[in-house]
């Protein structure tokens, strides 16, 4: 996918999401769209089905299914009469026609708010129509926009969890199981996966994820996992979603599930089909080079292939460092400033930068993203403290937290670094532009196609190459129009003129959506 396309798509989404947030129904639409030749069908009014098609299709659809257009979103067009008398027959007929017209492999019936309130018995409609259509069919019982959604939970709890992960390497308690996507994943798995005629020995299912991360190398990760597992003697039964309906139906042929998002789905498959699972949310055990090694060894151990796995991944790692020999030589001793948000950045990632030979002279930690999402200042401070304590690096950088943007620039200037690496979620490109506008070389690895959450050795190579290329790139004098506007110094890159909108939205999220009692 072209860089400009993913940048524009990303810009549109982040611009819209600064003042509003999507609902479970939209997440359900996204998840169904991530399955090959599946059609989401909304039991709801036209308005709910209109806007999702105007949102860029998500990363799994574009990168794994190679479909660059949003999925159609047929709906039952509920009207006032339907709200009074119910619309089960309307839904029945719509399913028949969707099957006839689109000839899909799967119809995912998504329940909207009005349909949930009037209490149409969607389950019975689905059961009744099942034999009348060629496609498989599932429905999402709790995809109404108002339904329980863990995103409304306290972000302070999430922070506590994250600290536990860094310190104790334990599984987080907090998750987003009930967000629209994962809720739908559970519906798909619990309603579609079939009892297998026979198991595939030494096989594993890999849960992948994409959301709107078009900049990440989803295909590369799966390709690498399949190749290394094959060498160990393990086959990938399915990497899902981003696969066919038949592959999902056949998930139970595998002997092991590797789940990254929905433990509920993993537990379901364990209880129903006896498939053991490994569950790991991002930012945990499988990040970085050691993380990738852990991944293969952990899976292989379940099949009694631990030693073989160690040998294989040892060889992969040796090859990686061998491939990186020349790059590392060039990177060695280069002074960098690293600007980051804990979460997206893990201590493991920072250690990886040192492993590549870089000297971290300055570490600038920014918690704005967290605080915008409702984390208390006190908790943000604790996250930063624990993050710093978990770093375990030798560069001994100067560390500052939540500097104003001009102070940040001054700190970077003083350290005379060779490169600034930006990893601050939404503001990466703006920050890169700001530094370069001030004559300081800068790069945002995530925007260049690197993802610290992917389980991958080759990603490390890519990271090193991205950094080297940034260090060697020709620098041109800039006087960017972008910076001729007034930015809020603590909320860069928000324009001062947009601050009232941003603050209003944050207050509503914190005090109304998340339901804090006190008014700000």
Partner 1 sequence: MYGEGKMSFVDPMQADKLLGVFRVVSGLKDAIVVVHSPVGCHWGINYIQRLSYRKTNSTVSALRERSVIFGGHEHLKKSIEILFKNKKKDKYLIILCASVPSIIGDDIEGIISESSVSDVSYLVFDCGGYKGKMMEGYEEALEGLFSWIEEKKKENDSFLVNIIGIQRDLPMGEANIKEIKRMLSLFGIKVNSIFPPERIKEIKDASRADLNIVFGYGRGLAERMKERFGIPYIFFEEYPYGISLCERFLRRVAKQFGISEKRTEKVLQREKRRILNALKPAHMYLHTLYDLPVSVSGDPAQVKGISCFLTKELGCRIKLINTSSFDDYSYLSEKVLIQASMHEFEKNIDDVELIFGSETEKTISKKKNIPLIQFSYPIFSRIFLNDAPYMGFKGTAVLVEEIINQILCQL
Kindly state whether residue 360 participates in binding partner 1, applying the rule CB under 8 A. no
Nearer to partner 1 by C-beta: 19 or 485? 19
Edge-to-edge strand order for the sheet containing 235-240?
A: 235-240, 203-207, 256-259, 276-279
Kindly state whether residue 101 participates in binding partner 1, applying the rule CB under 8 A. yes
Nearest CA to 449 out of 436, 458, 462, 464 is that of 462
CA–CA separation, 329 vs 350, rounded Å? 19
Kindly state whether residue 4 participates in binding partner 1, applying the rule CB under 8 A. no
Positions in 152-211 near partner 1 (CB under 8 A) = 152
Positions in 488-517 near partner 1 (CB under 8 A) = 501, 504-505, 507-509, 511-513, 515
Tell which one of 1, 3, 14, 79 touches partner 1 (CB under 8 A).
79
Site size for partner 1 (CB under 8 A): 73
The least distance separating partner 1 from the CB of residue 111, rounded to whole angstroms, comes to 13
Going by DSSP bridges, is the β-strand pair 38-43/256-259 parallel, antiparallel, or unpaired? unpaired
Lookup: tokens for 387: 């993050």
Q: Answer positive or negative: Cα dihedral of 72, 68, 426, 392.
A: positive
Nearest CA to 347 out of 395, 276, 417 is that of 395
Nearer to partner 1 by C-beta: 227 or 512? 512
Q: List all residues 6 or more positions away from 490 whose beta carbon is below 8 Å from its beta carbon.
A: 368, 402, 404, 405
Nearer to partner 1 by C-beta: 164 or 511? 511
Kindly state whether residue 103 participates in binding partner 1, applying the rule CB under 8 A. yes
Show the binding pattern over residues 36-55: x = contacts partner 1 (CB under 8 A), - = does not.
-----x--xxxxxxxxxxxx
For 67-70, the CB contacts below 8 A with 24+ separation are 68/1, 70/33
| Strand locations in 47-191 (E) | 106-111, 136-140
Q: List all residues 6 or more positions away from 176 whose beta carbon is below 8 Å from its beta carbon.
A: 150, 151, 182, 261
Kindly state whether residue 94 participates in binding partner 1, applying the rule CB under 8 A. yes
Nearer to partner 1 by C-beta: 148 or 276? 148
Q: Give the range of 111-119, 260-268, 389-397, 430-438 binding partner 1 by CB under 8 A.
A: 111-119
Kindly state whether residue 77 participates in binding partner 1, applying the rule CB under 8 A. yes
Nearer to partner 1 by C-beta: 13 or 376? 13
Nearer to partner 1 by C-beta: 88 or 280? 88
CA–CA separation, 386 vs 167, rounded Å? 8
Kindly state whether residue 130 participates in binding partner 1, applying the rule CB under 8 A. no
The packing angle between helices 458-472 and 218-232, to 10°, is 140
Tell which one of 58, 60, 74, 225 touches partner 1 (CB under 8 A).
74
Positions in 18-37 near partner 1 (CB under 8 A) = 19-26
């Amino acid at each position: 996918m072209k860089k400009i396309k993913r940048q524009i798509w990303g810009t549109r989404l982040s611009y819209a999401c600064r003042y509003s947030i999507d609902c479970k129904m939209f997440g359900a639409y996204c998840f169904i769209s991530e399955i090959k030749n599946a059609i989401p069908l909304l039991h709801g009014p036209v308005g709910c089905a209109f806007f999702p098609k105007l949102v860029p299709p998500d990363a799994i659809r574009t990168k794994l299914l190679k479909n660059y257009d949003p999925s159609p979103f047929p709906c039952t067009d509920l009207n006032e009469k339907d709200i009074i008398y119910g619309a089960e027959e309307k839904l029945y007929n719509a399913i028949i026609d969707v099957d006839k017209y689109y000839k899909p492999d799967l119809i995912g019936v998504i329940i909207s708010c009005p349909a949930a309130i009037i209490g149409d018995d969607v389950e019975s409609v689905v059961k009744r129509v099942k034999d009348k259509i060629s496609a498989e069919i599932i429905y999402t019982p709790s995809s109404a926009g108002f339904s329980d959604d863990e995103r409304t939970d306290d972000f302070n709890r999430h922070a506590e969890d994250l600290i536990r992960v860094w310190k104790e390497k334990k599984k987080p308690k907090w998750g987003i199981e009930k967000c629209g996507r994962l809720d739908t994943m559970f519906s798909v798995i619990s309603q579609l996966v079939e009892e297998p005629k026979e198991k595939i020995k030494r096989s594993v299912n890999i849960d992948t994820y994409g959301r709107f991360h078009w900049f990440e190398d989803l295909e590369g990760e799966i390709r690498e996992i399949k190749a290394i597992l094959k060498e160990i003697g393990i086959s990938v039964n399915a990497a899902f979603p981003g696969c066919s309906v038949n592959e999902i139906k056949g998930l139970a042929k595998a002997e092991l599930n590797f789940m990254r998002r929905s433990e509920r789905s993993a537990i379901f498959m364990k209880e129903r089909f006896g498939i053991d699972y490994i569950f790991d949310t991002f930012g945990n055990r499988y990040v970085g080079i050691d993380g990738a090694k852990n991944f293969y060894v952990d899976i292989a151990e379940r099949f009694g292939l631990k030693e073989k796995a160690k040998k294989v991944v040892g060889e992969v790692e040796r090859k990686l460092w061998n491939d990186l020999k020349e790059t590392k030589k060039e990177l060695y001793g280069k002074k960098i400033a690293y600007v980051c948000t804990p979460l997206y950045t893990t201590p493991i990632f920072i250690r990886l930068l040192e492993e590549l030979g870089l000297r971290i002279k300055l570490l600038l930690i920014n918690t704005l993203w967290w605080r915008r999402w409702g984390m208390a200042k006190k908790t943000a401070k604790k996250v930063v403290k624990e993050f710093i304590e978990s770093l375990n690096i030798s560069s001994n950088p100067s560390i500052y937290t939540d500097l104003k943007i001009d102070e940040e620039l001054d700190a970077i200037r003083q350290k005379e670094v060779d490169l600034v690496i930006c990893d601050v979620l939404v503001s990466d490109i703006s920050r890169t532009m700001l530094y370069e506008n001030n004559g300081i070389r800068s790069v945002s690895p995530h925007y260049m196609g690197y993802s610290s959450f992917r389980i991958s050795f080759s990603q490390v190579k890519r990271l090193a190459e991205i950094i080297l290329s940034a260090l060697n790139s020709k620098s041109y004098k800039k006087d960017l129009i972008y910076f001729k506007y007034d930015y809020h110094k603590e909320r860069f890159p928000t324009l001062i003129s947009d601050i009232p909108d941003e603050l209003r939205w944050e207050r509503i999220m914190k005090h109304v959506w998340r339901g804090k009692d006190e008014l700000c």
